[in-house]
Structure formats: structure tokens, C-alpha cells
Amino acid sequence: MSCENTLMSRGNAMQITDEAVCGLRIRTAQRAANNNHTQPPLLIFGGFGANIELQMPFIETLHGIRTIIFDLPGVGGSSRSLLPMTFADLAELSARLLRRMGCEQADALGMSWGGALAQEFAYRHPQHCRRLVLASTCSGRWIIPGELSLLLKLANPRRYWDRNYLKSIAGEIYGGRLRGNPDLVEQYIALLRPLHSPLDYFWQLYASAGWTSAPWLRQLRQPTLILSGTEDPILPRENACVLHEQIANSELVEFDDGHLLLFASREEAAQLIRNFLRAENPLPLARDCNL
């Protein structure tokens, strides 16, 4: 393990290290808990092409929760795998990384594309996953899509290299509080690190191609908190309803926000998540409430 640098999170430094996992160099960030809470760390799975820095504003609101997050292969500071990896492969990599960080169990949080990976991780490695948080995500193949015109813009990899292009479409494709708020869009784009090459974009597409959790969602036993934006143009709230109906031990909370609710509504979301992770009996929460 080699220490790369630190990121500051409200006075609590996040240690950035390179970890050797599955023959790859995985850039990992860890923030220690700053209180006496003894729950497992929170392992965060970011969205498609999302580097560690994109999650820093949200992590800063988690006050006291030990957090582990990493750049997926080919993203941010992590090396690319020679061959494309499936979600099953990435779930195994995540479990090995967790053990390398000295943890036998974690709570898992996944957003968007990372929410699918979090489901896979919870299913394949239940011994490593105590509780599950799913934000702005879906069950895969039987997705309820947003508007076709927006999805075509979303599918264009140009947004990972052309900041001006992303700035011009961010409010439209992400919706919610980013719509009509150029300052918030600028804050988000400033944290984005471009993918290394178009191959990394297609490698991540490969991981999710044809994937679905539908056959085994009912087998998940982790208490699960599902967060959804009522103004999500990418994954409308109906996708969260499907997850809620299929995961027996789950609660759904809706936000008046869009796809990036963990960025734009991070204070409200973090409060819910902290309470969920720290509660002795985490469910039920207030069902389908608007924040």
C-alpha cells in the first residue's frame, strides 16, 4: 500500500492510497470515524465514470461515519483491467478491497450505476454487507427509462471529456436542483476527472450490459434504504418503486430533486442515511416522504 495524498473533509483528512487488488492498482480513499460510533464503515460505489472527488461534498455531510470509497478500474487514479469486468467481477474486487482495508463487514451505498454494483455486492457477499443504501438506481434490464432524447445525450461519451458540452446539458439530463442552477453545475463539473480513454467508457458499459437483479432481489435480506428523486429524468421514480416492492426489508424515501440527489440534496440525504446506519432497528422509516 502506498500513500498518495490526503483530501480534507471538514477537518477530517481522507487518506488516499493505492491498493493492489486483483492485479490492479485501485485508488482508494478512507476517512476515519471521529466519534465513538462502532458501526461498520460505509463502502460507497459511485456512478458511471465517477471519480472519488465527485463524492466528496456528500461524504463531508456524513459527520463521523467511517467511509471507504474507490475509483473503479479505468476511472480516476485506478488502473484499467486488461479485459472488461462484469458486475460479478467488480463485486469480488470490492470484497477483496474491503478485506485489504482490514474490514470483514461494511454498509454499502450505491448511486445510479453504482447502485447496481451495490446490489450485486450485497447479493454475492452478504457476509460483508450489513445494510444497503440505493440512490437513483434500478434493477437493471427491466428499467423504466426516461425520455429518449435525454437518454441519447446521456449515452454520448463526449460529456466525460468536454466540460463545456456537459455544462450545456447537465441541468437537462440530471434534472432537479441542477436545472437552472449554473453554480451548482459548475461545482459538480469542477470535481469531475475525465476518463482515461473511450475504452474505459465501453468497459463500464460492458459491466452493466444485460445485467439485472430482478431474479434475486427478493433474496436480499439486508435492511435497505432506497432514495429517489421525483424529478429524475434518467431513472424515473417508478424504478425505485420496483426495488421497494421486490426488496422485502426496504423503505423508499423520495426527494424533490433529480438524479444527483446525493450531490444536490446531500445534507438532507446524509441525515437520513446517518440515522439509518446508526439505528438499532433501522426500519421502517417514514414511507414515501418528500424532503
Question: Rounded to the nearest 5°, which phi and psi values hold at 219?
Answer: -85, -15
Per-10-residue mean pLDDT, the chain, length 291 = 50 84 96 76 96 96 94 94 95 97 96 97 98 97 81 87 94 95 96 90 91 96 97 95 95 97 97 94 56 36
Contact 29, 7 (CB under 8 A): yes
According to DSSP, the β-strands at 250-255 and 224-229 are parallel
Please check whether residue 11 lies inside any domain of the structure.
yes
Closest CA to 114 of 52, 167, 60, 198: 52
Please check whether residue 243 lies inside any domain of the structure.
yes
For cell 424504478, what's the residue? 239
Helix (H) or strand (E) holding 242, with range, is: helix 238-246
Q: What does pTM read for this prediction? A: 0.92
Please check whether residue 289 lies inside any domain of the structure.
no
What is the distance between the alpha carbons of residues 33 and 199, in angstroms, rounded to a whole number? 37
Neighbours of 8 (CB within 10 A): 11
Please check whether residue 70 lies inside any domain of the structure.
yes
Q: In sequence order, which residues have a C-beta less than 8 Å from that of residue 290 and are 6 or more positions away?
A: 230, 254, 255, 256
Angle between helices 182-191 and 163-174 (to 10 degrees): 120
According to DSSP, the β-strands at 2-9 and 42-45 are unpaired
Total count of domains within the chain: 1
Around 79, how many Cα atoms within 13 Å sit in the side-chain half-sphere? 11
Domain range for 123 is: 2-278
Question: Rounded to the nearest 5°, which phi and psi values hold at 93?
Answer: -60, -40
Closest CA to 28 of 19, 37, 20: 19
Please check whether residue 74 lies inside any domain of the structure.
yes
Strand partners, 212: 140
What residues are annotated to the active site? 112
Please check whether residue 102 lies inside any domain of the structure.
yes
Q: Give the pLDDT confidence score for residue 6 in this predicted structure.
A: 58
CATH of the domain at 200: 3.40.50.1820
Please check whether residue 212 lies inside any domain of the structure.
yes
In 113-166, the DSSP E strands lie at 129-135
What is the distance between the alpha carbons of residues 216 and 223, in angstroms, rounded to a whole number? 15
Q: Give the pLDDT confidence score for residue 22 in this predicted structure.
A: 94
The C-alpha cell of 85 is what? 469486468
Please check whether residue 30 lies inside any domain of the structure.
yes
Q: Is 169 helix (H, G, I), strand (E, B) or coil?
A: helix
Q: Give the pLDDT confidence score for residue 155 in this predicted structure.
A: 84
What is the distance between the alpha carbons of residues 276 and 131, in angstroms, rounded to a whole number? 9
Q: Give the pLDDT confidence score for residue 283 in this predicted structure.
A: 73
